[in-house]
Amino acid sequence: MKKILICAGVVLLVLMGQVPGVFAEGGKLRIFVVSSYHREYLWTQDTNKGLCAALKDFKFLDSDADVEEFMKNDLVETATVVIKKAWMDTKRKNKKEEIAATTTSIMAEINAFKPDLVFLGDDNATNFIGAHLIDTAVPVVFWGVDFNPMTYGYLDSVERPGHNVTGVYQSGYFKESLETLKKLYPDLKTFAILSDASETGKAKSAEIAKLAEAGKLPMQLVDSVATNSFSEWKDRVQELSAKVDAFFIVNHNTLKDNKGDPVDSFLAGAWYLANIKKPEAVPEGQFVKEGLLLTVDDSGYKQAYEAGRMADMILHQKKSPAEIAVIAPTRGAIMVNRQRAAMLGLDVSNKDFIEEFVERSAALEKYPQ
């Protein structure tokens, strides 16, 4: 099926006469950015900051004013570059027909834009948009792919991709996050995984379960939740809170209410914070900013920054993506939310292994309980 989609994408580009090529007419570089998610999503905000920092550091953008214009308008044009961004919004619009319609719409934008390079932010953009760009003339750089960069069949190997696609993937610091939780609570013995049923949530939950099965985690995995029903998610969390010492909260971004409408992830987070008094680890800093206790951060900023570095290698240094190894960045900070620690009665003073504190809960500020 993937080969059929790839061939169809190439044929579509050829028939439309829109096969991109490096240095389109006018002499300005043209860069198209696709985000899997939406502007308000905290992970997206981190990746946006990382990408913009790289675009400035590697001389695609000239000034902070250029960065501000791009972040505000999803479009910026300078004397040397035009950069445009599109949002798939797949955390909220995640039905198959919605993703298909979004993919068609964004591919039409890409074809009309004729980019010299396309960034694909996270798995859904890499999967659905990438399938139409593999083995075309346009270089593609992804970030935020979960764990196995070979997943989508675009690479011959991590060391030598062999095609027009390279990028940055998340290795995950689940073990390290649980070890940090154990440092704060030495008596913890059991935990459960909480997740929505998104592709991201299921992939990360499976990775944690593998580590548990291999005996590599500092506490025992008792159970795992993966549902997109908010009411079911709440029921299961309350049920498990009586059985386990801690939680690993993977994701709660695709939960739906009883009418099938998306539930704001901050609302789900605020409910959890107000009702559950067990400590938790999370995979990324976005959730600590939301108000959850701690992470060894798999940094969104670093993901997108390194993708920007690869764009410099391709467009400025004239290297082929086929020869640029796919990488996972080093970890981000060990982060703790002080407000959550106080809610749990946890003293985090004099814990010199904590590298960054978040003072407030964004979820509780938006949805006071």
What share of the chain in percent tops pLDDT 90? Answer: 91
CA-to-CA distance for 35 and 102, rounded, in angstroms? Answer: 12
Report H helices in the chain: 2-15, 42-57, 64-73, 96-113, 123-124, 174-184, 199-213, 230-241, 265-275, 285-290, 300-315, 338-343, 362-366
DSSP 273: H
In the predicted model, what is the mean pLDDT of the chain? 93
CA-to-CA distance for 121 and 167, rounded, in angstroms? Answer: 10
Q: What is the pLDDT of residue 9?
A: 45
pLDDT at 4 over 90: no
Q: What is the pLDDT of residue 185?
A: 97
pLDDT at 6 over 50: no
Give pLDDT tens digits for 106-165.
Answer: 999 999 999 999 999 999 999 999 999 999 999 999 999 998 899 999 999 999 999 999
Mean pLDDT of 171-184: 97
CA-to-CA distance for 121 and 341, rounded, in angstroms? Answer: 32
What share of the chain in percent tops pLDDT 70? Answer: 93
Mean pLDDT of 282-307: 97
Give pLDDT tens digits for 14-32.
Answer: 333 344 444 444 589 999 9
pLDDT at 13 over 50: no
Give pLDDT tens digits for 183-213.
Answer: 999 999 999 999 999 988 999 999 999 999 9
User: How many CA within 13 A on the CB side of residue 338?
Assistant: 9
Q: What is the pLDDT of residue 14?
A: 37
Lowest mean pLDDT among 20-24, 80-84, 216-220: 20-24
- The CA-atom distances, in angstroms, between 284 and each of 24, 249, 289 are 38, 10, 9
First to last CA, the chain: 47
Q: What is the pLDDT of residue 243?
A: 97
Q: What is the pLDDT of residue 26?
A: 59
Domains, the chain, in order of start with CATH, read 2-171+300-323 (3.40.50.2300), 174-297+333-366 (3.40.50.2300)
CA-to-CA distance for 335 and 314, rounded, in angstroms? Answer: 34
